[in-house]
Chains A and B, each alone.
Chain A
């Protein structure tokens, strides 16, 4: 654990590593089989594309959350940030298409600033990130209600909603490809590349052992703050897609922080940092979304869903945790 070893084992056996993506791929495969049995046409390109498109926001949030978690922190503010962004966007755009792009830029800046504040309070004032982001959660929700007198005002322009709602039609083989899916693919590739870069390795090293990282010349506080900014930016993009998908409401981001953290953990990323892959986190989110669709297809009673969800999370995490500790 003392040194960040370059991954150059001479002979890598295909065994399950802690933090690897194999378990989540297995779960995903099982769920896909279950869906295919019940609802074969779900796997048809067009419906699969639309499923991936509508899952894009939570997958992006999971990626953003991953950066923070792998560096050893938490971000509980993302759900409230999404809500705030959607409500702010509706009020500022107020149905005027000309304001779409300026507002999109503003939202990205807003997300980055919230991330920066979270990061600085956590790293410079040494407030545990759980508390920082919990406080930020309360502040954002309270402020956005206060600002809009308790009910969202204004409305999003069709241009704004296009990103989350529309698709490129008549693509050969795939049918219609949602814009959200294209945004997702681009950002997912960017996230993977980022994690392979020097910054990515530093991020994992910081989460693994901040003291060692500090001693080897890494500015831990800066790395972690950047992770928070990335999470804020991811929340901004997710808000743009989500607002586009379903319009403005105070419920837009409710509970997304827990969803994102669950997805990250399901994807084999250790809370506390230093272990896991960004691909795993994103697959975790996809699995969670597929699980919800599956429950729709199988007609699981709405009230029992949380039990199923809780059981699967506990099972998945307990199995992977006991396995990694028994090695």
Chain B
């Protein structure tokens, strides 16, 4: 009880708050627009249309450096952030808990090394996939005299207040990968996004398989925004092509579970005519399930991980690999340095999102890289390649 009294007494005395003035504008439950059955509530028709439009947009920027390219740029002024270098750049990272983030982070570190004349210190804090920790991390970084803050948010809605607080601290904030529900960062960098990814895979599968065939959709987890958008776009494409989606299953990214699921579906339907997946992590396991059951591997999509590209080439699969390029980890460093130079940058900074097809497969398939490396890392010109990524 004494503690309670102390609380009241103290709160009457010196008060301070870290809360940003603007209240969190969390409009997490976006309206479902398509009306196609149980569409994900993350589906936003306008975003979907915009992303599909971007798939054909021409990029501005150096042709051989997709990580510096921008689709439909809208430049913003950054003169007020101009500062003399070398700089201290801080990075609040959502997690390092999967190969995609590992490859991305190594690429980012290499970019920092490539720019070492301009960066005196690079501080990295890993939130280990915890929203609560990332909020604390961002707050912590604000007290460290960073010249620019890069954030890769763990969750869109819940990290918004923390990012707003960071913006108000006056330093330039760059957000990439997942977004936040606020316009306050100087720029938000990401590739075209989940709708584009899901659409490319689903369109390929429905075109290549026999008409009216059965498709199995394999997803990693429910409720992850970037993965939800992939599936909702695929759903639209499948609905339009009148494809029979016989199952939508969650694999947890576990290859053993994936094989069991695919095995049971082959058993249940005799044959599966197409496989769509929202991420490439278990693509090889799905291929093996067909091989082990003595069936032809149907048209399917994977991602740009090398194990999939290799089995695609070796077994001559009918496949496609939409990507969510890891080269986007280079861009925030480049953007931060441009902002600190007072140069204009685009906001949003939409990066191109190339697709690996039969035609360009050989260009991306480097048999010397490890099986879980992502081919679209844009890292071959960076210091330490290839050893750093092995």
Which A residues fall within an 8 A CB radius of B?
39, 41-42, 47, 50, 54, 57, 149-155, 165, 242, 245-252, 254, 292-293, 296-297, 299, 302-303
Contacts and interface: CB of A to CB of B under 8 A. Distances in A.
Contact of A302 (B250, B268, B292): B250
A293 B102 contact: no
A303 B250 CA distance: 8
Interface residues of B, number: 36
Contact of B258 (A57, A246, A248, A302): A246
B255 A247 contact: yes
Given A153-B370, A247-B255, A293 B285 contact: no
B171 to A, nearest CB: 29
Contact of B370 (A151, A247, A249, A250): A151
A49 to B, nearest CB: 12
18 contacts: A39-B267, A47-B267, A54-B256, A54-B263, A150-B96, A151-B102, A153-B370, A246-B254, A246-B288, A247-B255, A250-B98, A254-B252, A292-B260, A296-B261, A302-B219, A302-B222, A302-B248, A303-B222
A86 to B, nearest CB: 10
A249 B255 contact: yes
6 interchain residue pairs of minimum CB distance: A246-B255, A302-B250, A296-B264, A251-B254, A246-B256, A150-B102
Contact of B288 (A151, A247, A252, A293): A247
Interface in B262-291: 263-265, 267-268, 281, 284-285, 288
Contacts of A249: 253-255, 281
A155 B96 CA distance: 22
Given A150-B102, A247-B288, A54 B259 contact: yes
Given A249-B255, A251-B256, A297-B268, 16 more contacts: A41-B267, A50-B263, A54-B259, A150-B99, A151-B370, A151-B372, A165-B292, A247-B288, A251-B253, A251-B255, A254-B252, A296-B249, A296-B261, A296-B264, A296-B268, A303-B250
Interface string B340-381: 000000000000000000000000000000111100000000
B53 interface: no
B147 to A, nearest CB: 28
A24 to B, nearest CB: 21
B116 interface: no
Contact of B254 (A57, A154, A254, A293): A254
Contacts of A149: 102
B371 A155 contact: yes
A252 B102 CA distance: 18
Contact of A246 (B252, B259, B267, B370): B259
Contacts of B281: 249
Nearest to A248: B371
A297 B255 contact: no
B103 interface: yes
Contacts of B248: 302
Contacts of B256: 54, 57, 242, 245-246, 251-252
Nearest to A150: B102
A42 B267 contact: yes
B247 interface: yes
B118 interface: no
Given A54-B260, A54-B263, A303-B250, A39 B268 contact: yes
